[in-house]
């Protein structure tokens, strides 16, 4: 393709609203333009990249037996009501009405539609398993879209769904998909980690995320520096606590005045004790009502782990208004002693011999409080957030590290959540009706491209990994109006094109400096610079974007060498 004919609106400066580097560079490189919050138009340069990512995904999904489909983006409300998600999904689900006032939604995900198809068409275990996928636009009305294509409302996603006669088959496909995903992200040139994840509102009991490590990531990833345990921070387990060897005799519970001291820090300073001597009582609102969670003063509650311990649909920290209304104690002085709520304590707290807690009245705390003696723990569990450098729960010597990550893929074994809601059954080999076991698997296409930029850029612009670069090579004539230069450039360009190499010919009349700047901004992996002097000595210059390294290769005998260089990239 000739640069002069292409629509590549590059910018010298980033728009003020672009915060993260991938967003800035995508706009500057003429890949995308914003239409509304979280909604982007994809321009030719951007689409070339997305298509390459998609094709890698297709190849790897096909390799494990996936079959591509294309499902409707607009879906009738009835189906969502039947699965129970019309109400459960909340405001993130974009709802609309047609001219007959019938309710529809724009699909944020497609479990409901695909399960509806399969329940109608699959009758026998002989037809299972089935793995179907699609690459399509999703819409999720995110409260706060941000970071360009990293978290858009409308976005391109590969979503796959599998149906099985049993759990074992589902786990096999789950593993196959995990392998496919590793291949996809490796081929996209990404450094990633597969981590254990919470399955969240999608449901199910086995789930991993594929995280690209980058500072701009919205998730935190915890991983062991010794074994291969890695997990999303919201899922990360703490090691079993060891009981304290406290020899001091048990004291009676005492009330102490702590006027105006609300925070852990204030109370501990006031009483001259370390923060781990105190226990925080955090109230959570859940679909099963208000509960109390207890963690040590120096710890944080992990709401996801708490939610799983409670086995509830949702759990969120109660706001002050709710606490005042239900408990009547100001925040900061709530404690477990005499509290008329179910109390869930972190295992650490359950093992403590003595602690300081709020006294359930303003300006007072209790000291020498003992679990069991002074209050009852409904259920102890692992409900705290882990911290960097604390011991790994899975091996003897490992320590936790924590890094930021971008979630580019997520896989789930769903079990029968959707098949039971939508009654998707089949006859097993005994002739008995069974629920299908399902799995689902997603890759964010645009997010993968954005993540690739986050990991591969420098101060000049994008440094595309070769497999997803919009063009592999750019031919840059120093002056296209010089006959010898033009002829050589055209010839090189045509030869590359004939060999199936994505080449771009920068035939613009601009000076070479302009061409360098754009080629670097757009991130084309290889530049071939055609100048009169080198041409006279039978050579052209080849420059590698990533390293800046440049070398001369013979002309007109260039193609073997170019191919070698491309192979090495």
Partner RNA sequence: CGGGGCGUGGCGCAGCCUGGAUAGCGUACCUGACUGGGGGUCAGGUGGUCGGAGGUUCAAAUCCUCUCGCCCCGACCA
Q: Which is nearer to RNA, 19 or 191 (CB)?
A: 19
C-alpha Rg value of the chain to the nearest Å? 29
β-pairing, 154-164 vs 192-196, is: unpaired
The correct pick among 513, 547, 557, 567 for binding RNA (CB under 7 A) is 513
β-pairing, 425-427 vs 364-369, is: unpaired
> How far apart are CB 215 and RNA at their closest, in Å?
12
| 517 near RNA, rule: CB under 7 A | yes
Asked if 148 and 455 count as a contact pair (C-beta separation under 8 A), the reply is no
β-pairing, 457-458 vs 461-462, is: antiparallel
What character string, x for contact with RNA (CB under 7 A) and - otherwise, covers 61-100?
-------------------------------x--------
Asked if 187 and 56 count as a contact pair (C-beta separation under 8 A), the reply is yes
The correct pick among 2, 4, 37, 74 for binding RNA (CB under 7 A) is 37
> How far apart are CB 365 and RNA at their closest, in Å?
25
The correct pick among 99, 144, 321, 340 for binding RNA (CB under 7 A) is 144
| 520 near RNA, rule: CB under 7 A | yes
| 484 near RNA, rule: CB under 7 A | no
- 425/123 Cα distance (integer angstroms): 7
| 136 near RNA, rule: CB under 7 A | no
| 439 near RNA, rule: CB under 7 A | no
The β-bridge partners of 278 are 356
Coil, strand or helix at 546: coil
- The sign of the CA dihedral 107, 72, 198, 23 is negative
- The sign of the CA dihedral 312, 316, 317, 319 is negative
> How far apart are CB 129 and RNA at their closest, in Å?
21
> How far apart are CB 387 and RNA at their closest, in Å?
16
The correct pick among 355, 478, 524, 565 for binding RNA (CB under 7 A) is 478
Q: Which is nearer to RNA, 303 or 451 (CB)?
A: 303
- 123/406 Cα distance (integer angstroms): 40
| 212 near RNA, rule: CB under 7 A | no
Using CB atoms within 10 Å of the CB of residue 51, give its burial: 0 to 12 exposed, 13 to 18 middle, 19+ buried.
middle
Q: Give me 120's structure tokens.
A: 């109608």
The correct pick among 108, 371, 465, 525 for binding RNA (CB under 7 A) is 108
> How far apart are CB 119 and RNA at their closest, in Å?
21
Q: Which is nearer to RNA, 110 or 365 (CB)?
A: 110
Alpha-carbon torsion, ordered 337, 339, 344, 349, to 10 deg: -20
| 407 near RNA, rule: CB under 7 A | yes
Q: Which residue has the tokens 């039947």?
A: 82
Q: How do the residues of the chain divide into helix, strand and coil, expressed in percent and rounded to 5?
A: 30, 30, 40
Q: Which residue has the tokens 């971008």?
A: 406
The correct pick among 162, 211, 534, 565 for binding RNA (CB under 7 A) is 534
Which of 7-15, 52-60, 359-367, 416-424 is the region at the interface with RNA (rule: CB under 7 A)? 7-15
Q: Which residue has the tokens 């033009």?
A: 486
The correct pick among 194, 196, 314, 350 for binding RNA (CB under 7 A) is 314
Asked if 164 and 424 count as a contact pair (C-beta separation under 8 A), the reply is no
* Binding residue count for RNA, defined by CB under 7 A: 60
Specify the DSSP class assigned to residue 200. G
> How far apart are CB 368 and RNA at their closest, in Å?
33
| 285 near RNA, rule: CB under 7 A | no
Chain positions contacting RNA, by CB under 7 A: 10-17, 19, 34, 36-38, 92, 108-109, 138, 140, 142-147, 157, 159, 200-202, 218, 303, 314, 316-317, 407, 410, 442, 444, 460, 478-479, 481, 509-514, 516-518, 520-521, 529, 531, 533-534, 541, 543, 550
């Amino acid at each position: 393709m000739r640069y002069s004919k292409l629509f590549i609106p590059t910018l010298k400066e980033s728009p003020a609203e672009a915060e993260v580097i991938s967003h800035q560079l995508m706009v500057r490189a003429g890949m995308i333009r914003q239409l509304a919050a979280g909604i982007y138009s994809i321009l030719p340069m951007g689409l070339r990249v997305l298509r390459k990512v998609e094709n890698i995904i297709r190849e790897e999904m096909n390799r494990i037996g996936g079959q591509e489909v294309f499902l409707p983006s607009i879906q009738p409300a009835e189906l969502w009501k039947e699965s129970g998600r019309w109400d459960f999904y909340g405001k993130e689900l974009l709802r609309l009405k047609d001219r007959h006032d019938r309710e529809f939604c724009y699909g944020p995900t497609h479990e409901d539609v695909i399960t509806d198809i399969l329940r109608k068409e699959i009758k026998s275990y002989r037809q299972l398993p089935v793995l179907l996928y699609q690459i399509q636009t999703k819409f999720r009305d995110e409260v706060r879209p941000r970071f360009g294509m990293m978290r858009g409302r409308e976005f391109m996603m590969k979503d796959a769904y599998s149906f099985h006669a049993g759990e074992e088959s589902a786990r096999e496909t789950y593993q196959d998909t995990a392998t496919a995903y590793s291949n996809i992200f490796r081929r996209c040139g990404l450094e990633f980690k597969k981590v254990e994840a919470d399955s969240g509102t999608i449901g199910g009991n086995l789930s991993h995320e594929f995280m690209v490590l980058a500072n701009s990531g919205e998730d935190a990833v915890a991983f062991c520096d010794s074994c291969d345990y890695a997990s999303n921070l919201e899922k990360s387990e703490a090691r079993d606590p060891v009981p304290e060897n406290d020899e001091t005799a048990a004291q009676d519970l005492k009330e102490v005045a702590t006027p105006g001291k609300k925070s852990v820090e204030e109370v501990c300073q006031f009483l001259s004790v370390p923060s781990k001597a105190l226990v925080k009582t955090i109230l959570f609102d859940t679909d099963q009502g208000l509960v109390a969670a207890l963690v040590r003063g120096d710890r944080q509650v992990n709401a996801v782990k708490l939610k799983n311990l409670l086995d509830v649909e949702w759990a969120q920290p109660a706001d002050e208004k709710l606490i005042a209304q239900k408990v009547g104690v100001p925040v900061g002085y709530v404690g477990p002693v005499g509290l008329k709520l179910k109390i869930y304590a972190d295992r650490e707290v359950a093992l403590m011999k003595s602690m300081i807690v709020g006294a359930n009245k303003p300006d007072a705390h209790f000291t020498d409080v003992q679990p069991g003696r002074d209050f009852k723990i409904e259920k102890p569990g692992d409900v705290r957030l882990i911290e960097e450098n604390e011991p790994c729960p899975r091996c003897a010597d490992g320590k936790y590290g924590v890094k930021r990550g971008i979630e580019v893929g997520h896989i789930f074994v769903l079990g029968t959540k959707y098949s039971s809601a939508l009654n998707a059954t089949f006859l097993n080999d005994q002739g008995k009706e069974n629920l299908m076991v399902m799995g689902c698997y997603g890759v964010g296409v645009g997010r993968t491209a954005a993540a690739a930029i986050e990991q591969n850029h420098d101060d000049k612009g994008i440094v595309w990994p070769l497999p997803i670069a919009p063009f592999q090579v750019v031919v840059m004539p120093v002056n296209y109006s010089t006959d010898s230069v033009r002829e050589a450039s055209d010839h090189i360009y045509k030869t590359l094109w004939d060999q199936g190499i994505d080449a771009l010919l920068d035939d613009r009349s601009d000076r070479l400096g302009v061409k360098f700047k754009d080629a670097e901004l757009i991130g084309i992996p290889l530049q071939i610079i055609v100048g009169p002097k080198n041409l006279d000595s039978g050579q052209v210059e080849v420059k590698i974007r990533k390293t800046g390294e440049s070398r001369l290769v013979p002309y007109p005998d260039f193609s073997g060498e170019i191919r070698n260089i491309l192979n090495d990239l």
